[in-house]
């Protein structure tokens, strides 16, 4: 991965390049990433530049033997550590080394735009809990104690470091504090609060910001050959998350369905709050919507509730006159303007709390019908206040 191919802030690239050129590389760095911010690719580009045999002032050469191995994620001094579990091919005692081949395939097939949910689906883990386990930590210690194959840096990249198993983490503390010479640890996370304080105190923080909307729009046009207007719409609502932008392009029907469900649900809530006639409330359409969501499973219901959260935030921004804070497509903006008087500074906090409560209950397998009906009637009381 070359720096020129990264979807990230130019200042971040220069920061990492400067560390290498000025030889002030902290041996343990924590990459705190915004969701969908190409963090794993940033880590690989950084490691590749550090190992390149003929680097320029701005990038790796992309042609030396080291770069060619990095392109395939097979460099012998690159150690990838990631959450893992038993699979169809690894029936017991899993670790990152045993699953290295499918993980490399997963990364390359997705052009480095990876997240934990997609990895869980890729390795068909089902409901199993994926962790960076004791065996992973033992392997790190073993490789850390040996010399590098190339004579340069050994690089350990711990993806989703927030899933470092708590009983395994203490094994790494001394190594993170005093690694062997020419060793670099890069820990990647989107959930800073889940990283152990003992790990945080031994790492240098590197923040990876959201991707600019303009960058996302341009890349969507390149990757999917979509219109400029559609690319801009999706970039506007992706909130700097290119993974989300890709999924929205690939499933435009889902975006349309979410908006349709929201309009059905909240229009009925407003009609009930205003005590309109039953034929205007259209509660039967709401029950049908709830049934359809329930048939699609727990993750689909959670996804829709998160869409509702974002929609209510956007309507609130319209209510207070902050159009710059609205993150919508052109069609959503037109529809949401009709609801702006119902989501106000006074009731928005409670509305968002109720949506978050619904997500919490769905995650704990409470009946879809019960959760959505409770949310429906609660919101009908809140929009009148």
The alpha carbon torsion through 209, 212, 216, 218 (nearest 10 deg) reads -140
Q: Which domain holds residue 162?
A: 3-209
For residue 275, being part of any structural domain is answered with yes
pLDDT on residue 131: 94
| Same domain, yes or no: 51 and 174 | yes
The secondary structure of 148-209 as a DSSP string is: -SSSS-EEEEEETGGGB-TTTTHHHHHHHHSPPSSEEEEEEES-GGGS-HHHHTTSEEEEEP
Q: How far apart are CA 48 and CA 155, in angstroms?
A: 10
Contacts of 267 (CB under 8 A, 6+ apart): 282
For residue 232, being part of any structural domain is answered with no
Q: How far apart are CA 194 and CA 314, in angstroms?
A: 29
- Go through 185-194 and write b for each residue having 16 or more CB atoms within 10 A of its CB, e for each that does not: bbbbbbeeee
H helix and E strand count, the chain: 18, 5
CATH of the domain at 135: 3.40.50.300
What is the total count of domains within the chain?
A: 2
For residue 40, being part of any structural domain is answered with yes
| Same domain, yes or no: 64 and 195 | yes
For residue 16, being part of any structural domain is answered with yes
Residue of 52, 41, 30 lying closest to 3 (CA atoms): 41
Per-residue pLDDT of the chain (385 residues; tens, 9 = 90+): 999 999 988 999 999 999 999 999 999 999 999 888 889 999 999 999 999 999 999 999 999 999 999 999 999 999 999 999 999 889 899 999 999 999 999 999 999 999 998 899 898 887 788 999 999 999 999 999 998 998 899 999 999 999 998 888 889 999 998 888 999 999 999 999 999 999 999 999 999 999 999 999 999 999 889 889 889 888 988 888 898 888 888 777 788 899 999 999 999 999 999 999 988 999 999 999 999 998 988 888 988 999 999 999 999 999 999 988 888 888 889 999 999 999 999 999 999 999 999 999 998 889 999 999 999 999 999 997 6
| Same domain, yes or no: 199 and 262 | no
pTM over cut 0.75 = no
| Same domain, yes or no: 205 and 255 | no
For residue 358, being part of any structural domain is answered with yes
pLDDT on residue 129: 87
For residue 218, being part of any structural domain is answered with no
- Which one of 209, 236, 263 terminates a domain? 209
């Amino acid at each position: 991965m070359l720096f020129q191919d990264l979807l990230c802030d130019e200042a971040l690239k220069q920061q990492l390049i400067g560390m290498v050129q000025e030889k002030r590389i902290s041996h343990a760095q924590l990459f705190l990433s915004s969701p969908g911010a190409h963090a794993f690719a940033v880590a690989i580009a950084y490691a590749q530049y550090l190992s390149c045999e003929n680097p320029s002032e701005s990038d790796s050469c992309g042609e030396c033997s080291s770069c060619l191995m990095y392109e395939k994620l097979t460099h012998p001094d690159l150690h990838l550590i990631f959450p893992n579990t038993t699979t169809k091919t690894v029936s017991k005692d899993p670790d990152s080394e045993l699953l290295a081949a499918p993980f490399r395939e997963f990364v390359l097939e997705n052009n480095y735009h990876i997240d934990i949910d997609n990895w869980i689906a890729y390795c068909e883990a089902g409901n199993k809990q994926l962790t960076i386990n004791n065996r992973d930590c033992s392997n790190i210690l073993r490789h850390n104690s040996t010399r590098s194959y190339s004579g340069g840096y050994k690089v350990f990249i711990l993806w989703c470091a927030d899933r470092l198993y708590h009983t395994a983490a203490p094994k790494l503390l001394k190594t993170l504090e005093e690694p062997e010479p020419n060793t670099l640890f890069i820990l990647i996370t989107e959930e800073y609060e889940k990283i152990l304080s003992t790990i945080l105190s031994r790492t240098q923080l590197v923040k990876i910001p959201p991707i600019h909307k303009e960058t996302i729009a341009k890349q969507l046009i390149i990757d999917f050959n979509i219109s400029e207007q559609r690319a801009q719409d999706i970039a506007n609502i992706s909130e700097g998350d290119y993974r989300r932008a890709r999924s929205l392009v690939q499933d435009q029907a889902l975006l349309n369905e979410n908006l349709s469900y929201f309009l059905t649900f909240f229009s009925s809530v407003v009609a009930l709050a205003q005590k309109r006639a039953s034929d205007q409330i259209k509660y039967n359409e709401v029950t049908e919507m709830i049934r359809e969501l329930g048939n699609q499973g727990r993750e689909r219901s959670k996804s829709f509730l998160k869409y509702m959260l974002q929609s209510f935030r956007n309507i609130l921004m319209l209510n207070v006159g902050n159009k710059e804070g609205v993150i919508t497509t052109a069609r959503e903006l037109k529809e949401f303007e009709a609801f702006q008087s119902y989501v106000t500074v006074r009731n928005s906090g409670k509305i968002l709390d109720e949506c978050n409560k619904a997500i919490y209950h769905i995650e704990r397998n409470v009946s879809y019908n019960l959760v959505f009906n409770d949310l429906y009637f609660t919101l009908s009381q809140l929009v009148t206040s």
